[in-house]
């Protein structure tokens, strides 16, 4: 059953308040005051999508976890709020003694604040989860240790081999994928998206999310960093040079770094300034750098050359290649 925002609200009498045979429920921008009561009876529900939830229809993470506890057949959960106002009260964010188990859930799509998702995933276990999409509203601080623990408890995730970072005019995305020829968001096992526009803020925000405690990062060997054409036109080279090393630090297993034409000068300048132990502390396993549209000379070659020389002296050589990107 699918409903969009044409209705102002669904009456409490919907389906007689009971839904034992309901298998799919898709609400888009529609308040439903009796939703919690209905979900407690929807034991055959397979797919649940609650999208563009208005603040007037806010349901706390604790209450939602209680509702989900009866959905043992649920395979897909989509949960998205209309605005960042929908967040849990800090006073009520206490970890539960017992977590709800969703034994059949394989797909999770969330859009909201990190505080809400932190509180929710502390209350649930999803052993069969293998695909996660997480979109955060723009915010000052991203404190996400419980989300990392939640992903670490998912037994069915295929360890990712590569990460794709895309800076766009509306958001920044990091997707983690198993081995494949082409990195595609649709094939990502884990995807983080942050809705913000300025490149320096995008980088700072994603740095907070991609911490060393994020379990999938330890298996990544390939890291692609791209900027879209529209964002490239707004690219500011005056990003603080210490931002890139902080972002790259968790990717300790990466052997191959791929930089698109629009972003490589900014990264090269940051790598150029590394010295001493920091030369090998950032991307310690790095063996190759692939630069899109590599030219025989110019500011990119000069900056990256300084880093290459420092790595050579440290006994951890890196080779530069031309990257002919096909996507």
CATH code of the domain in which 69 resides: 3.80.10
Please indicate, yes or no, if residue 84 is contained in any of the structural domains: yes
Residue 56 included in any domain: yes
* 223 confidence band (pLDDT: 50, 70, 90): very high
pLDDT confidence bin for 240, thresholds 50/70/90 = low
Calculate mean pLDDT across residues 69-75: 95
Which has the higher per-residue pLDDT, 234 or 272? 272
| Domain-located, residue 90 | yes
Whether residue 177 lies inside any domain: the answer is no
Q: Please report whether residue 265 resides in a domain.
A: no
Number of domains comprising the chain: 1
Q: Which of 246, 283, 50, 251 is nearest to 162 (CA)?
A: 251
**Is 90 exceeded by the pLDDT of residue 79?**
yes
> In the predicted model, is pLDDT for residue 10 greater than 70?
no
In a domain, 119, yes or no: yes
More confident residue, 185 or 140: 140
Reply yes or no on whether the pLDDT at 13 is more than 60: no
Q: What is the pLDDT of residue 185?
A: 61
pLDDT digits (tens, 9 = 90+) for 171-191: 999 998 877 655 556 667 889
Output the pLDDT for position 77.
98
94 within a domain of the structure (yes/no): yes
Specify if 43 maps to a domain.
Answer: yes
Q: Residue 238's pLDDT is what?
A: 47
Instruction: Give residue 52's pLDDT.
Output: 92
- pLDDT of 105 above 90: yes
Range of the domain at 50: 1-157
Q: How much of the chain, in percent, has pLDDT values that exceed 70?
A: 83
Q: Average pLDDT of the chain?
A: 85
């Amino acid at each position: 059953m699918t409903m969009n925002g044409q209705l102002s609200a669904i009456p409490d009498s919907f389906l007689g308040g009971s839904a034992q045979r309901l298998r799919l429920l898709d609400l888009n921008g529609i308040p439903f005051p009796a939703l919690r009561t209905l979900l407690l009876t929807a034991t055959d529900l397979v797919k649940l999508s609650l999208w563009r939830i208005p603040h007037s229809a806010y349901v706390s993470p604790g209450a939602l976890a209680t509702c989900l506890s009866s959905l043992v057949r649920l395979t897909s959960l989509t949960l998205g709020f209309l605005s960042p106002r929908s967040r849990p009260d800090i006073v009520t964010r206490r970890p539960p003694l017992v977590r709800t188990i969703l034994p059949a859930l394989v797909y999770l799509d969330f859009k909201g604040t990190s505080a809400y998702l932190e509180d929710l995933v502390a209350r649930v276990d999803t052993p069969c989860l293998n695909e996660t999409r997480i979109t955060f509203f723009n915010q000052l601080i991203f404190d996400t240790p419980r989300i990392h623990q939640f992903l670490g408890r998912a037994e069915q995730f295929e360890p990712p081999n590569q990460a794709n970072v895309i800076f766009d005019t509306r958001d920044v995305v990091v997707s983690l994928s198993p081995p494949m020829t082409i990195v595609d968001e649709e094939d990502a096992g884990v995807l983080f998206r942050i809705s913000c526009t300025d490149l320096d803020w995008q980088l700072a925000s994603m740095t907070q999310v991609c911490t060393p405690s994020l379990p999938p990062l330890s298996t990544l060997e390939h890291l692609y960093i791209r900027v879209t054409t529209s964002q490239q036109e707004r690219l500011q080279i005056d990003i603080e040079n210490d931002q890139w090393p902080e972002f790259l630090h968790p990717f300790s297993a990466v052997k191959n770094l791929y930089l698109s034409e629009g972003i490589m000068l900014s990264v090269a300048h940051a790598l150029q300034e590394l010295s001493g132990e920091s030369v090998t502390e950032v991307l310690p396993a790095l063996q190759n750098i692939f630069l899109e549209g590599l030219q025989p000379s110019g500011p990119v070659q000069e900056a990256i050359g300084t880093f290459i020389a420092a790595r050579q002296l440290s006994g951890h050589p890196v080779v530069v290649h031309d990257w002919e990107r096909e996507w």
